[in-house]
Amino acid sequence: MPKNVVITGASSGIGEALAERFASQGYNLGLAARSVDKLDLLAEKLLQQYSVRIETVSLDVNDDARIPAVLDDLAKRLGSIDILVANAGIAGSRRSGTNDLSVDKAVFQTNLIGAIATLDAATNIFLAQGHGHLVGISSVSAFTPIPKSAAYSASKAALTNYMNAMRLELAGNNIKVTVIHPGFINTHLAPKMDKYPFVINADVAAKQMVHAIERKQTNPIIPALPWKGVKALLQIMPDSLMTLVMKNLVSKK
């Protein structure tokens, strides 16, 4: 029997690539994003290629009070939700000391509060139906802060810790929790990503992500190589060398 997966932020980037990958493997889709026009175009394209069911809905995760009703509606339209992917997110760049916290507030509202609200609403559904799989899209920057992207790094670190706490809390409830940590993925979210090392395209990343989700991995890093090694290296790197590396990284932005 086909499974049903709901993806937020599904109109572009990683969300769009995940939708296509899940559809190619026979999953029914519930697609949510701010731009329902883009979602409908994506749904039309996927329905021409795959024999799956697709439901679309307009959703801005910053309107967190609306999220439970939207997910409940998708659950009714699909029959159930087996997997929820909290993917909606934004990037933001700001130097410390500018006296303008608007970027930081927006990043935390979308990447953390919006994600938490989505995960919480899905958990309520999963507890009622007796099963489910929570998936959150974090980042390798959850492990290593990136200069000029302090809010983004911190929001992803908080999301990782929050979801790992959820896993412990929900143990025994037949609810799985997967926190995905992408490395450098070439999407509209970071338009100059081609200047960075180890960049992969969203469709390649999505294939690996879906594989990790199906295997119910807890904290996969996508792609595993070289980022697992990079993570281990950065954790033992002296502060002086870390500063030099990050200074060089920032100069590419």
Under a CB-based contact definition with an 8 Å cutoff, are residues 8 and 86 in contact? Answer: yes
Phi, psi of 139 (to 5 degrees): -170, 155
Which residue matches tokens 């002296």? 238
Give helix 36-49 / helix 13-24 axis angle, nearest 10°: 30
Beta carbons within 10 angstroms of residue 142's beta carbon: 21
CA-only gyration radius of the chain, Å:
18
Beta carbons within 10 angstroms of residue 130's beta carbon: 9
Q: Let me know if 152 is a catalytic residue.
A: yes
Peptide linkage before 238 cis (omega within 30 of 0): no
Distance CA 108, CA 16 (A): 22
Catalytic residue among 27, 50, 152, 196: 152
Coil vs helix vs strand at 167: helix
Distance CA 143, CA 108 (A): 17
Dig out the tokens for 52 from the structure. Answer: 């799956």
Distance CA 134, CA 172 (A): 14
* Pick from 77, 26, 78: nearest CA to 52: 26
Question: Any idea what DSSP says for residue 81?
Answer: -
Catalytic amino acids? 152
